[in-house]
Amino acid sequence: MNKKLISVLGKTTFLFGLLVWLYVITMQIVRPESVAWTFTHWFRMRMSFVGIICFVASVFGFMVWQYLKFESK
The pLDDT of residue 39: 82
How distant, in Å, are the alpha carbons of 1, 8, 14, 24, 30 from that of 33? 43, 36, 27, 12, 9
The answer to whether residues 6 and 67 touch, using CB atoms and an 8 Å cutoff, is no
Task: For residue 53, give the DSSP letter.
Answer: H
**Three state DSSP letters for 17-37:** HHHHHHHHHHHHHHCHHHHHC
The pLDDT of residue 16: 97
Q: What is the pLDDT of residues 16-36, one digit of tens each?
A: 999 999 999 999 999 999 888
Domain extent listing, the chain: 3-71
Mean pLDDT of all residues in the chain? 91
